Amino acid sequence: MKNKILSVHNIKVHFFSNKQFYFPWQKREFIKAVDDVSFDLFEGETLGIVGETGCGKSSLARAIIKMIPIASGKIMWMGEDLSAYNKTKMQKIRREIQMIFQDPLASLNPRMNIGEIIAEPLRTHYPKIAKNIIKDQVKEMMKKVGLLPNLINRYPHEFSGGQCQRIGIARALILKPKLIICDEPVSALDVSIQAQVINLLKDLQKDLKLSLIFITHDLSIAKHIADNILVLYFGKTVEMGLSKELFNNPRHSYTKKLISSVPIPEPRLR
Amino acid sequence: MTLSPLNKRRLDNFKSNKRGWYSFLIFTLLFLASIFADFLANEKPLLIKYENQIYLPIINKYAETTFGGDFETEADYRDPYVKNLINNNGWMIWPIIPYSYDTIIRDLAVPAPAPPSKKNWLGTDDQARDVLARLIYGFRISILFGFTLTFFSMLIGVSAGAIQGYFGGKIDLFFQRFMEIWSAIPTLYVLIILASIVQPNFWWLLAILLLFSWMGYVGVVRAEFLRARNLDYVRAARALGVSNYKIMFRHLLPNATVATITFLPFSLSASVTALSGLDFLGFGLPPGSASLGEMVNQGRNNLQAPWLGLTSFFTLGLMLGLLVFVGEAIRDALDPRKTFV
């Protein structure tokens, strides 16, 4: 039996409208971005979260690391309740949960060179490490994600999208986290580059015994990388299960519709 | 120091704007010259050789008795008696303009204000003080005041704008309302009230003007921070657990520098104008100090002596003109949409 590292119980995320003033008898208007979602994540496994644009995938991810407040529910990390954690305790958790973002170039500060970018988590969480040790670790990490270490002084705009995403992955990995939340990490990339980046993630996952939460709207990618899949529709869980089962035997009509929308390379073989 | 390609392009753009670049050079030259005002215009000689010994009267004080005089007080080198004492046993070198800003010339041929002559190149004012000497010192104090005021208002304005823009929400809302009230307080009346309590000097004026001048920066910086705080790389930094303070400094402030630098020369010229205006009205620097505004006032009071009004007019016009030209050049050089041939 594998260790359960993260379990999410019935979390809800509400976004309130921008209206500033309410009479006491008025109710605040809000949107239920995530509505009553629960899942468990085990060590070394990958959970794919799929759904169409605006269904709350990213909100769910950002709620898990407490970047946006949750309206109700519980987030258990290694058996401890994250929602009760204060800022300093949360800081320790942030070492263990890292994130990879959708737009590889936009998620890197254009004014920092990639050595500084990859080192930033280290400098933030361990401010006392010597500079040359940081540099060695950064170079090692660059090798691991398939970047040449002599590119350390370049700036993000000098790299291609795939390379930028590798930088993002290196930044996420340098603290040796237990869980990485990938928020549509490949949707901004070409198909050929997508495969490289995903295979890189898979290899790294095997090497470092990482757990992944992989958010995507592309079902074929989810099928390739995920052990379990959670299908979201307007913030609600539609279907959840093992990847293979879900693809071979979808039960909900929305899942069926999603699967049928995936283009097949050779339609005659259908 | 190596420049990034972007900054190099900006520098080239700045240089290629001939008007701005030459204005910058002239302004720098004038400013550097006025820094050494004490060596350009002074009532003490630059160098004295007396009985085979070298004296530097501008830097050190020497009693009259050093040169064989009668008094223990500091020597008055303009006194013909002291001059004679030194010249009989050595020599002295005078600055180009042998008057300081507060030297009262007692041997004028005509009643003050005296017109321009060989001795007083731009004439004297109505208290028999050399106009050129006062001009140099007045220029220096205006620029130094401008720089200090600009620096401190930038410091306060940028931090206030950064905090408002970054945290947004209630902090932003309340701070904006506070600023609306604060900016409605009339600076001039505060100064007039202050002038009735204390004798305003350089630092008092600086403090009072600073109370209100920082608000110019807040809008620019706040807007930049509001825009940039939701950029992906800022979110990424936040997810990494980087502290707010570090995010502001490392990730957001560089975005706001361009807007701030563009604002600088204009803020500088505004500070100079403010000081001159206060001096003109008599609420500025203490009486007797060299200032351009006071000279404008003298020009108004002595219309029969046009050199007073003209000198101050051309000096202020030149200085503000140069600053605005430099400001325009900087603004254009930092504008990414502007292309240069």
- Following DSSP, what letter does each residue of A82-111 receive, concatenated? GGG--HHHHHHHHHHEEEE-SSTTTTS-TT
Tell me how far apart the terminal alpha carbons of chain A are, to the nearest angstrom: 38
Closest listed residue to residue A184, CA positions, set A27, A20, A61: A61
At A61, which helix (H) or strand (E)?
A: helix A57-64
On the question of pLDDT at B198 being above 70, the answer is yes
Say whether A124 and B246 touch across the interface (CB within 8 A). yes
Is the ipTM, as predicted for this complex, more than 0.95? Answer: no
Distance, CA of B290 to chain centre? 13
On the question of pLDDT at A19 being above 80, the answer is no
Alpha-carbon distance values, B42 to B30, B92, B136 (Å): 18, 13, 11
What would the pLDDT profile of A122-142 be if each residue is shown by its tens digit?
888 888 888 888 989 899 999
Say whether B235 and A107 touch across the interface (CB within 8 A). yes
In chain A, pLDDT over 90 holds for what percent of residues? 6
Q: State the nearest Cα–Cα gap between A91 and chain B, in angstroms.
A: 6
What would the pLDDT profile of B65-76 be if each residue is shown by its tens digit?
888 778 888 888
Q: Picking from A9-23, B28-42, B113-127, B251-265, which range would have the lowest pLDDT averaged per residue?
A: A9-23
**Considering only alpha carbons, which residue of chain B is nearest residue A101?**
B236
User: Chain A, 59-98: which have a CB under 8 Å from a chain B CB?
Assistant: 62, 65, 67, 90-91, 94-95, 98
Which residues of chain B does A187 touch, with a Cβ-Cβ cutoff of 8 Å?
A: none
Query: Cα separation of B166 and B243, whole Å?
Result: 12
Residues 6+ apart with CB under 8 A from B13: B332, B333, B338, B340
Which residues of chain B does A90 touch, with a Cβ-Cβ cutoff of 8 Å?
A: 241
Mean pLDDT for B311-340 is: 85
A120 touches chain B (CB under 8 A): yes
Position B149 confidence tier, pLDDT thresholds 50, 70, 90: very high
Tell me how far apart the terminal alpha carbons of chain B are, to the nearest angstrom: 27
Position B155 confidence tier, pLDDT thresholds 50, 70, 90: very high
Which residues of chain A does B242 touch, with a Cβ-Cβ cutoff of 8 Å?
A: 120, 124
Position B153 confidence tier, pLDDT thresholds 50, 70, 90: very high
Position B227 confidence tier, pLDDT thresholds 50, 70, 90: confident
Mean pLDDT for A37-48 is: 89
Counted across chains A and B, CB pairs separated by less than 8 A come out at 51
On the question of pLDDT at B26 being above 80, the answer is yes
B177 touches chain A (CB under 8 A): no
Mean pLDDT for A229-257 is: 85
Distance, CA of B164 to chain centre? 30
Q: State the nearest Cα–Cα gap between B237 and chain A, in angstroms.
A: 8
Mean pLDDT for B162-169 is: 89
On the question of pLDDT at A260 being above 60, the answer is yes
Say whether B241 and A95 touch across the interface (CB within 8 A). yes
Query: Cα separation of A235 and A230, whole Å?
Result: 11
Q: Picking from A40-44, A227-231, B109-113, B244-248, which range would have the lowest pLDDT averaged per residue?
A: B109-113
Say whether B240 and A67 touch across the interface (CB within 8 A). no
pTM summary value: 0.78
What would the pLDDT profile of B77-129 be if each residue is shown by its tens digit?
888 888 888 888 888 888 888 888 888 888 878 887 888 888 888 888 888 88
On the question of pLDDT at B1 being above 70, the answer is no
Three state DSSP letters for B85-152: HHHHCEEEECCCECCCCCCCCCCCCCCCCCCCCCCCCCCECCCCCEHHHHHHHHHHHHHHHHHHHHHH
When computed from its CA atoms, the radius of gyration of chain A, rounded to whole angstroms, is: 20
Alpha-carbon distance values, A60 to A215, A268, B37, B142, B156 (Å): 10, 38, 67, 58, 39
On the question of pLDDT at A118 being above 80, the answer is yes
Which residues of chain B does A106 touch, with a Cβ-Cβ cutoff of 8 Å?
A: 231-233
| Helix, strand or coil, per DSSP, at residue B57 | coil
Position B339 confidence tier, pLDDT thresholds 50, 70, 90: low
Q: Residue B251: its pLDDT value, please?
A: 86
Mean pLDDT for B305-323 is: 91
Which residues of chain B does A124 touch, with a Cβ-Cβ cutoff of 8 Å?
A: 240-243, 246
Q: State the nearest Cα–Cα gap between A62 and chain B, in angstroms.
A: 8
Do residues B331 and B259 make contact, with C-beta atoms less than 8 angstroms apart?
Answer: no
B236 touches chain A (CB under 8 A): yes
Mean pLDDT for B32-52 is: 86
Rounded to the nearest integer, the mean pLDDT of chain A is 85
Do residues A56 and A13 make contact, with C-beta atoms less than 8 angstroms apart?
Answer: yes
Token reading at A143: 């090798």
Distance, CA of B337 to chain centre? 32
On the question of pLDDT at A1 being above 80, the answer is no
Rounded to the nearest integer, the mean pLDDT of chain B is 86
Do residues A6 and A76 make contact, with C-beta atoms less than 8 angstroms apart?
Answer: yes
Query: Cα separation of B43 and B102, whole Å?
Result: 9
Largest CA distance in chain B: 81
Query: Cα separation of A179 and A42, whole Å?
Result: 10
Query: Cα separation of B339 and B341, whole Å?
Result: 7
